[in-house]
Structure 1
Amino acid sequence: MSAHRPSPESWPVVAAMLPFPESHDSPAPVWRGQLAEVAAEGFSGVDLTDSWLRVGDLDSARLAELSGVLDDAALRPEAVSAIRRSVIDPETGAENLAYSHRTIDAAAELGCSVVSVGLHRPLTAAQRAALWFWTVDGPRDDDTAETWELAVGRLRELGEHAASVGLALSLEMYEDTLLGSSHSAVRLLEDIDHPAVGLNPDLGNLYRLHREVEPFLEAAARCLPVSNYWHVKSYFRSTDPLTGGTHTVPAPMYAGSMNYRAAFRTAVEVGFTGPVCVEHYGGDGLAVMAENHRYVRRLLAAVTGGRVSGHGR
């Protein structure tokens, strides 16, 4: 969604802070140690995922501390992802809207380029008890016209705020929400109709479900032309032809069942130029994300005809 395409080496490919525990109230030296691990794996940028710390809830002194430790680690804060804070949550929607506004202001102060928000809600007790939370169904958005218009209005409001402070707003796709399919997500974006608002086609959120899902490449082709940020991760997916049962587990991007080589080719062809954030659940998530980082750099070089020196940093 931009006229300028970065080179494979300069393209922002950043690390999610998902592998780290909730650290909102931790002292700055703890943040410094965590971010140093990210930098040691070859990253130069991060997504300040709010499951790690909530930048929108930091006072000015703590926000300055965070900026300082990011500088110490030589990590650019490219994005903030505010997750499970749906602005149409029937119980906490208004509170989440206010939180999202605070997050936008904090992200701008830190020098980010994008804030990603979604319509998914907190995990249920059953989801938290499962080995993989996506194997248990969670809350489902009401799809009435009234709820749709509420989402359009509140997300447009956030887009206007983001634009006013020089940020993009990206809408993360997630199952059983109004952003839960490529068709619905694109239609919602069209109704919001704001130049600062695009999609975050986190199609791994959909592909991992133990049910029938949209073909990955078809969904990517539909969403990438209107996307401005991209969470990427992969899964092994297998379906038993006798029972119809499906099983998925996290996988490195190069090895998983999602064809990211083809998806990145499509992304470049349709003009996607947004930052890319690598994610992974389970095990040594940071190490897998580092491999995903190198893989994405190689893909960008392959599909643009560019070059990546060394090991893909």
Structure 2
Amino acid sequence: MSPTHHTIACCMHGFSPTDSNGLPLQEAAPQTWAGIFSTLTGLGFTALEIADSHIRPADLSPERRGLLKDLAASAGVELTSIHVQRQSIIDPERGEANLDYAHRTIDAAAELGCQVFSTGLHQPFSQAQREALWFWTAKGWTDPTDPEVRALAVRRLRELGRHAAEVGLPMSLEMYEDTYLGTAESAVRLIEEIGLDNVGLNPDIGNLIRLHRPIDDWQEMHELTLPYANYWHMKNYQRDEAADGSWFTSHPTTMRDGLINYRAMVTRAVELGFNGPFLMEQYGGDSLGVCAENRTYLAGLLSTAPSTKGTTGP
């Protein structure tokens, strides 16, 4: 399969959420936004995921939203997706407000010509996570075991999925620890409970293998989730652990050099018919440079992966 059949986008982690004067990107001047697109194209990217930690298209004026779209188009950059993060629709205090925000973001994603609307159930960082060197080493939110709360998640995600379908968008749910998307089994069951053809998984197993605790087998997690995948955040980590479970450690690395064998997993995804966009994601150091290196690596994998027909989905 040729890599041209898949969009390979870059994340926004490598960009500051404020401009040089401390102004949030949401409010930044057009030249600041244009600078982001110029940096991307200089790295060889032609696609970007808009993270709402940096820019919230749903909260832009129609004029500013149009400007964002025009600047991207002028630079030759596709706005592949809008990723809504840490705005859980089952947050005990802000769930309904977050649901409304997600609906508005779906409309914004359609207006910007995105390929997918991306979200999840992860919550804002805890104080311990904000203070940690790597946030995943500290304790964060855990979704409750209450079946009524899980049922609420299904209802609200189904509502969002139907809205996304109405505007012609797939909706992808990112796997994330200690949420209802925190294990392969629970994530697959959630997709099946939602029961919509356009709602699938973002099998970001990287979020799970970095944890300083026992983890499930990464190959088994991919095998369970890839048939449901419609978007894919890709990153990798070096991981080591004691055989007796007394210590664990992890740190970001390239897709090639980490625990997950992406050569095998991309080949498997293509065999299953995966045809969604890929998102290069990285934390720490020159994350944009690593994303560019990972894009080249992934394009090589796709160029040699066995071709197949069909698409993945629930």
TM class, shorter-length: over 0.9
2:273 corresponds to which residue? Answer: 271
| Match among 143, 161, 164 for residue 141 of structure 1 | 143
1:200 corresponds to which residue? Answer: 202
1:49 corresponds to which residue? Answer: 51
Deviations 1:96-122 (A, max 9, x none): 101101110000000001011100000
**What is the CA–CA distance in structure 2 between the aligned matches of 1:243 and 1:149, rounded to whole Å?**
34
Equivalent position SS for 2:305: helix
**What is the CA–CA distance in structure 2 between the aligned matches of 1:163 and 1:53, rounded to whole Å?**
23
Residue 11 of structure 1 aligns to which amino acid in structure 2? H
User: Deviation at 1:174?
Assistant: 0.2
Asked if 2 retains the 8 angstrom alpha-carbon contact of 1:32 and 1:72, the reply is: no
**What is the CA–CA distance in structure 2 between the aligned matches of 1:204 and 1:239, rounded to whole Å?**
16
**What is the CA–CA distance in structure 2 between the aligned matches of 1:77 and 1:252, rounded to whole Å?**
24
1:300 aligns with 2:295: no
Residue 215 of structure 1 aligns to which amino acid in structure 2? D
**What is the CA–CA distance in structure 2 between the aligned matches of 1:116 and 1:214, rounded to whole Å?**
24
Residue 16 of structure 2 aligns to which amino acid in structure 1? P
| Match among 3, 7, 22 for residue 8 of structure 1 | 3
2:13 corresponds to which residue? Answer: 18
Map 1:158-237 → 2, pairs under 5 A: 158-237=160-239
Residue 12 of structure 2 aligns to which amino acid in structure 1? M
Asked if 1 retains the 8 angstrom alpha-carbon contact of 2:271 and 2:307, the reply is: no
Q: Percent identity?
A: 46
Q: TM-score, normalised by structure 1?
A: 0.94
Equivalent position SS for 2:4: coil
1:100 corresponds to which residue? Answer: 102
Map 1:80-119 → 2, pairs under 5 A: 80-119=82-121
- Which 10-residue stretch deviates more, 181-190 or 235-244? 235-244
User: Deviation at 1:257?
Assistant: 1.5
User: Deviation at 1:50?
Assistant: 1.1
**What is the CA–CA distance in structure 1 between the aligned matches of 2:101 and 2:109, rounded to whole Å?**
12
Equivalent position SS for 2:51: coil
**What is the CA–CA distance in structure 1 between the aligned matches of 2:26 and 2:131, rounded to whole Å?**
23
**What is the CA–CA distance in structure 2 between the aligned matches of 1:17 and 1:227, rounded to whole Å?**
22
1:262 aligns with 2:264: yes
Residue 293 of structure 2 aligns to which amino acid in structure 1? E
Residue 57 of structure 1 aligns to which amino acid in structure 2? D
Equivalent position SS for 2:297: helix
Asked if 2 retains the 8 angstrom alpha-carbon contact of 1:217 and 1:262, the reply is: no
Equivalent position SS for 2:276: coil
Q: TM-score, normalised by structure 2?
A: 0.93
User: Deviation at 1:305?
Assistant: 6.2
Asked if 1 retains the 8 angstrom alpha-carbon contact of 2:180 and 2:186, the reply is: yes
Equivalent position SS for 1:9: helix
Equivalent position SS for 1:24: helix
User: Deviation at 1:217?
Assistant: 1.2
Structure 1 ranges of 4+ moved more than 2 A: 240-244
**What is the CA–CA distance in structure 2 between the aligned matches of 1:292 and 1:51, rounded to whole Å?**
23
Structure 2, unaligned runs of 5 or more: 18-24, 309-314
| Match among 124, 131, 140 for residue 133 of structure 2 | 131
Number of residue pairs matched?
301
User: Deviation at 1:7?
Assistant: 2.7
User: Deviation at 1:288?
Assistant: 0.3
**What is the CA–CA distance in structure 2 between the aligned matches of 1:72 and 1:128, rounded to whole Å?**
37
1:40 corresponds to which residue? Answer: 42
1:309 corresponds to which residue? Answer: none
Asked if 1 retains the 8 angstrom alpha-carbon contact of 2:232 and 2:277, the reply is: yes
- Which 10-residue stretch deviates more, 258-267 or 174-183? 258-267
